[in-house]
Chain A
């Protein structure tokens, strides 16, 4: 059962990474246009110069 000392923090750490990733994506405006994002994924190529909004 000593393995839990590694496994439990590891699992929680991975969960935390996921949460931080979500909060970062929220902060960088990735949920502002859900419909557009769905289409951008299958667009042929992105327009030449593009800077994501802050």
Chain B
């Protein structure tokens, strides 16, 4: 049964007899790659478009309908040295891209208006101290109004909408004072223009919008980039399932195209990509990605299997079920829903600041107005001064204080291998004083590795590796990886459930169960040494060797755990695995607090306990069983190899094998929170200096414009410091 690859699910009709497909490509990093790929693909007949997007690391392809199989593009890219896989834009990502374009349009309009209004304002400012006649000034004011009013109505939409949403739910966010300030400044300026007055604030209002839109756009584009990378990584996992399209006919289809009720084939060594029930076959299944339990589970007809479990020995036929049918999944889903509901509504720093800021500023403006009236000024003059206070208090610096730091910090974290799922996670990570790690797949590597490689002669090892390449068994795969063997042994025969055998120079070589290789005694002796590891025996003629295979710790785990402890963070392990396995890992890492055999509900209970004691808990986990705990914790993190549900629940996702990104996330977040607070104080300090001037009524539009841009630039420059953290800081 030879499976064909079927990518028709991803092919879109581009009209005019053309087909379109988007591919995520790994390793595109420079201009050289870009032209190499574009030339390589354009050279294929009937391809009408091949365009690389270097920012998103994707290729868009179009070709004459029905002439090419999309699988050929992937083969062609593999020949060029790039791994690629079809990509389907997720709804959230498409929405982000649209939002990003909208912000850029607003920014374009606001910037155009600012430049042109400034062009009219500067002559007015200089004319006021020289010889400008009032008619000319009025003319310039009217022109400014003509430009600024429609531009503000359009470019202010992101702020007005957000402010309206907040007010409707009886909340205050930063956009409320911004919107009030802009609308009042524009309204007053129109009245002043009608009354032939000397000062208007069209320039200040529109410049405020421009500066804030720059901050919004940067923030948005960083988020979009993170999401694009996460989308690519998901696509490049190339999750396919072998689906029965006839009684004996199978086809390799992307998981996205699988429906409940379909029957899929699961061969030894394959990771199940769907949830379902076994209908035929018998095997052992590694469910560690789901439950954290490293012992294999026996699967026969009627057993439920979940996406992420690894088939070990036999071939299975699985009927795909709808996601929530499984008992384990249903339980986890229920816990997750509860945890998400109970997730404390975290109030962002920006919103906390604006809750303080808005009433203070608006009260100051009101008092200014009343004060001037009491002192005998006309209502008109009092209102003009009050509006000047609102403008000069400039939510500009406040509005930029936090998003700019967030943008810079998330860029730095992105380079350190951390992707942010939620915007406020930086603030929450910075507060963490306790980290709970899951063991399997988080502290340990998701793949098996050979523990005793040093005990085995090199030539024997590479021979065993060659033999192992002929097998699909995951334990054999670990031996093959560790030996760096490139080509399988010719004419090696796999005996299902036993092992592989072949001939090397006339001598029989066997790799498999100890009994298959006649190495029972050796195996009995060594079981005492490492009870956690699976053993695989290798025989060559009369010689017998034993490989000990287990999930190893992440290479830098001990160093990173002690780095975390140095930062005054208590580390704890909560695992669904058996006690000896957890104990061994805890001892190797120097972690004194650990619990084994923990259920998803227990994990939540432990986190709730710690929360009640006042700890800010970060949960780091990958299994499906961790998902509810990830949602319950103050902030959560998952490795990129995690189960889908966990990855979607976690606030941050880290890439690669090392654990270093966890420490980097803590460092960058702490620095970022420090800078955010500093920026807020800078904005407050600026206001303390500027407000008395505004209250005294001597502010001119020139002073307002200078103060506003000065404070914004100061805050932005300070935010740039979030790019670096001091290493080795305790």
Cβ-defined partner of A19 (8 Å) among B31, B35, B104, B112: B112
Cβ-defined partner of B105 (8 Å) among A12, A26, A36: A26
* B residues less than 8 Å from A18 (CB atoms): 112
Distance to closest chain B CB from A1 (angstroms): 7
Q: With the chains together, A31 CA to B105 CA distance in Å?
A: 11
Interface residues in A12-54 (C-beta closer than 8 Å to B) = 12, 15-16, 18-19, 22-23, 26, 31-36, 39-40, 42-44, 47-53
Asked whether, in the complex, the Cβ of A36 is within 8 Å of the Cβ of B53, the reply is: yes
Given contacts A39-B31, A47-B38, contact A53 B54 (CB under 8 A): no
* A residues less than 8 Å from B116 (CB atoms): 11-12, 15
Q: With the chains together, A49 CA to B43 CA distance in Å?
A: 9
Distance to closest chain B CB from A20 (angstroms): 9
* A residues less than 8 Å from B279 (CB atoms): none
Q: With the chains together, A52 CA to B53 CA distance in Å?
A: 12
Distance to closest chain B CB from A30 (angstroms): 11
Cβ-defined partner of A36 (8 Å) among B55, B112, B139, B143: B55
Q: With the chains together, A53 CA to B420 CA distance in Å?
A: 30
A8 interfacial contact with B, CB 8 Å = yes
* A residues less than 8 Å from B147 (CB atoms): 12
B557 interfacial contact with A, CB 8 Å = no
Q: With the chains together, A25 CA to B266 CA distance in Å?
A: 49
Asked whether, in the complex, the Cβ of A50 is within 8 Å of the Cβ of B42, the reply is: yes
Distance to closest chain A CB from B207 (angstroms): 15
Distance to closest chain A CB from B686 (angstroms): 31
Cβ-defined partner of B109 (8 Å) among A11, A19, A49, A53: A19
Q: Chain A interface residue count: which class? A: 20 to 34
Distance to closest chain A CB from B107 (angstroms): 9
Asked whether, in the complex, the Cβ of B112 is within 8 Å of the Cβ of A15, the reply is: yes
Cβ-defined partner of A33 (8 Å) among B30, B50, B54, B105: B54
Distance to closest chain A CB from B309 (angstroms): 39
Cβ-defined partner of B51 (8 Å) among A8, A19, A50: A50
Asked whether, in the complex, the Cβ of B49 is within 8 Å of the Cβ of A53, the reply is: yes
Given contacts A35-B54, A36-B55, A39-B30, contact A15 B39 (CB under 8 A): no
Q: With the chains together, A11 CA to B140 CA distance in Å?
A: 13
Q: With the chains together, A15 CA to B109 CA distance in Å?
A: 10
* B residues less than 8 Å from A26 (CB atoms): 101, 104-105, 108
Interface residues in B98-123 (C-beta closer than 8 Å to A) = 101, 104-105, 108-109, 112, 115-116, 119
Distance to closest chain B CB from A32 (angstroms): 6
Cβ-defined partner of B54 (8 Å) among A19, A39, A51: A39
B136 interfacial contact with A, CB 8 Å = yes
Asked whether, in the complex, the Cβ of B50 is within 8 Å of the Cβ of A47, the reply is: yes
B60 interfacial contact with A, CB 8 Å = yes
| B contacts with A: majority SS | helix
Asked whether, in the complex, the Cβ of B101 is within 8 Å of the Cβ of A39, the reply is: no
Given contacts A23-B108, A43-B31, contact A36 B48 (CB under 8 A): no
Asked whether, in the complex, the Cβ of A53 is within 8 Å of the Cβ of B60, the reply is: yes
Interface residues in B231-287 (C-beta closer than 8 Å to A) = none
B532 interfacial contact with A, CB 8 Å = no
* B residues less than 8 Å from A19 (CB atoms): 108-109, 112
Q: With the chains together, A42 CA to B54 CA distance in Å?
A: 14
B430 interfacial contact with A, CB 8 Å = no
* A residues less than 8 Å from B112 (CB atoms): 15-16, 18-19, 22
B56 interfacial contact with A, CB 8 Å = yes
Q: With the chains together, A33 CA to B49 CA distance in Å?
A: 16
* B residues less than 8 Å from A8 (CB atoms): 143
* A residues less than 8 Å from B42 (CB atoms): 47-50
Interface residues in B44-63 (C-beta closer than 8 Å to A) = 48-56, 60
Asked whether, in the complex, the Cβ of A51 is within 8 Å of the Cβ of B39, the reply is: no
Q: Which of B34, B56, B104, B143 is the most central at the interface, judged by chain A CB atoms within 10 Å of its CB? A: B34
Q: With the chains together, A23 CA to B52 CA distance in Å?
A: 23
Asked whether, in the complex, the Cβ of B54 is within 8 Å of the Cβ of A36, the reply is: yes
Q: With the chains together, A53 CA to B20 CA distance in Å?
A: 11
* A residues less than 8 Å from B49 (CB atoms): 50-51, 53
Distance to closest chain A CB from B28 (angstroms): 9
Asked whether, in the complex, the Cβ of B55 is within 8 Å of the Cβ of A11, the reply is: no
Q: With the chains together, A19 CA to B108 CA distance in Å?
A: 7
Asked whether, in the complex, the Cβ of B53 is within 8 Å of the Cβ of A47, the reply is: no
Distance to closest chain B CB from A29 (angstroms): 9
* B residues less than 8 Å from A32 (CB atoms): 53, 55
Interface residues in B201-240 (C-beta closer than 8 Å to A) = none
* B residues less than 8 Å from A35 (CB atoms): 54-55
* B residues less than 8 Å from A42 (CB atoms): 31
Given contacts A39-B54, A53-B49, contact A31 B31 (CB under 8 A): no
Asked whether, in the complex, the Cβ of B48 is within 8 Å of the Cβ of A51, the reply is: yes
Asked whether, in the complex, the Cβ of B52 is within 8 Å of the Cβ of A36, the reply is: yes
Residue of A nearest to B35 (CB): A43
Q: With the chains together, A35 CA to B31 CA distance in Å?
A: 9
Distance to closest chain B CB from A36 (angstroms): 3
Chain A interface residues (CB < 8 Å from chain B): 1, 4, 8, 11-12, 15-16, 18-19, 22-23, 26, 31-36, 39-40, 42-44, 47-53
- 30 pairs, CB–CB < 8 Å, chain A vs chain B: A4-B139, A8-B143, A12-B116, A15-B115, A15-B116, A16-B112, A19-B109, A19-B112, A22-B112, A26-B101, A26-B108, A31-B101, A31-B104, A32-B53, A33-B52, A33-B54, A33-B56, A34-B55, A35-B54, A35-B55, A36-B34, A36-B53, A36-B55, A39-B31, A40-B31, A47-B35, A49-B48, A50-B51, A53-B49, A53-B60
Given A12-B116, A31-B101, A33-B53, 9 other A-B residues pairs in contact with their CB atoms under 8 A? A11-B116, A33-B55, A35-B54, A36-B34, A39-B31, A43-B34, A47-B42, A50-B42, A53-B49
Q: Pick the 8 closest A-B CB pairs, nearest first.
A: A36-B54, A39-B31, A19-B112, A33-B53, A47-B38, A35-B54, A22-B108, A35-B55
